[in-house]
Amino acid sequence: MMHKRLGLGDAKKKRTAEKKPKDTGNDLADLVIKSGAKSLAVVGTAKNVGKTVTMNYLVSELSSRGMTLGLISSGRDGEVIDVLTGEPKPSVVPPSGTWIATAEGVLGEAAMHIEIADVFERTGIFGRIVIGRMVESAPIELVGPPTARELSLIVKNLLAFGADIVLVDGALDRKAAASPQVTDATILSTGAVAGRNIKAIAEEMGFWVWLLSRTEHEDERIRMLARKAVDTETVCLIRRLAEGFTLEPTPYVTVLGREDDILELAEDAVAVIVPGAVTQEFVEAVWSWVEDEEFCVIARDAVSIFVDKKPGLPLCVVDPMRVLAATVNPSSFADVQHDSRELVCEIAEEISRWGHPLPVFDVVSGEKSVKGVSKLVVG
């Protein structure tokens, strides 16, 4: 199987002069352009919620507006048959000029349509990750690394080779794609398979938008100490002094199995900073223990928080995410079909009830709701 290889210098020479993306209104692609994001995660709340359809829509619309794209997955995407359900899946078909990162073991016939620019030496299940440029449009399977650190490195490389924006395929079971360490913004996708009815789908979506929209602590002094704390990779406490606050490290690097030990140390503290996973068990332990209603649990970012319901205490982050929009798929492989307009409107209303209004789109039917979020779009 033959493919060409080019270096970073050669790749940059192939870029044309800077292009100003065409702005045509207030659809999802225009919203992405206006955001100024250089990297964007598309994250699904479940399998088969139309995430790949959203990805393909953005690939088509953004490229038609003159943008050079980069594509990568935080797991595996673009396979012809879903490896879990056995159902057909929409293919990822990047246009000519798109930069892609994938595993060499899944290139197959697509290899003849790619100029290889770089190869990462670390080998995974499907071989090494390669970066290349599509010389002509062809279906391709995207396989990427699972960790935020590796994803971030590859995103930076795709931008360096010439991508105007990098789209990262993700999912809530592989949320590294949405980490602020990896991408500038996130689009959250849901669909008919995510709940037994429209109300259930909307309620779940409202919770996820709330969770992924966690903010920094309102007190700047606590924000600064929390940022220092996550860099120590140690669970830390913040205590109030006569003048200001102080940071106190604990002996623990995780809250897993250490809930009671940490809370024994937390007397008179105003916050606990967790550099790793914040679990449901830990949040519930804090809630049953805490007496100060302002006591706050602070995570590194929202993708580090693993809770399935809104807690009764403040939950903040050091690095907030930027959720741009939601997309919906009203149908499922199980022959469930909801009314697109009803689903879009119900999800938009539920998200607003959770306090984080977002534009909601069905990119296939064209239905959308931007009520209450006009500051995010124009037209």
Of residues 86 and 62, more confidently modeled: 62
Q: Could you report the per-residue pLDDT of 168-181, keeping only the tens digit for each?
A: 998 656 677 888 99
379 pLDDT more than 50:
no
Of residues 248 and 8, more confidently modeled: 248
73 pLDDT more than 50:
yes
150 pLDDT more than 70:
yes
Q: Which amino acid makes up residue 299?
A: A
Instruction: Output the six-digit token pair for 1.
Output: 């199987």
Give bridge partners of residue 115 from the DSSP assignment: 4, 133
Residue 41 burial (CB < 10 Å; 0-12/13-18/19+)?
buried
Is the overall model pTM greater than 0.75, yes or no? yes
Q: Could you report the per-residue pLDDT of 319-367, keeping only the tens digit for each?
A: 999 999 999 999 877 677 899 999 999 999 999 999 999 999 999 999 9
Contact between 275 and 300 (Cβ < 8 Å): yes
Contact between 182 and 322 (Cβ < 8 Å): no
Q: Cα angle vertex 360, ends 313, 47, to 5°?
A: 80
End-to-end CA separation in angstroms for the chain: 49
- pLDDT at residue 372 in the model: 55
306 pLDDT more than 80:
yes
Highest mean pLDDT among 6-20, 141-155, 229-243: 229-243
- Mean pLDDT computed over 190-207: 91
Contact between 278 and 308 (Cβ < 8 Å): no
Of residues 10 and 270, more confidently modeled: 270
Model confidence at 224, pLDDT cuts 50, 70, 90, reads: very high
65 pLDDT more than 70:
yes
The alpha carbon torsion through 30, 33, 37, 38 (nearest 10 deg) reads: 130
- pLDDT at residue 4 in the model: 45
Which of 73, 106, 92, 90 lies closest to 137 in space, CA to CA?
Answer: 92
Contact between 92 and 70 (Cβ < 8 Å): no
Neighbours of 196 (CB within 10 A): 9
Three-state DSSP class for 370?
coil
Place of tokens 């507006």: 65
265 pLDDT more than 60:
yes
Contact between 347 and 246 (Cβ < 8 Å): no
Model confidence at 130, pLDDT cuts 50, 70, 90, reads: very high
- pLDDT at residue 327 in the model: 96
62 pLDDT more than 60:
yes
Q: Kindly list the domain boundaries of the chain, sorted by start residue.
A: 24-213+322-369, 220-317
At the second CATH level, the architecture of 24-213+322-369 is: 3-Layer(aba) Sandwich (3.40)
- Distance between CA atoms of residues 210 and 214, nearest Å: 7
- Name the helix (H) or strand (E) containing 317: strand 315-317
Three-state DSSP class for 32?
helix
- Mean pLDDT computed over 70-90: 67
At the second CATH level, the architecture of 220-317 is: 3-Layer(aba) Sandwich (3.40)
Model confidence at 294, pLDDT cuts 50, 70, 90, reads: confident
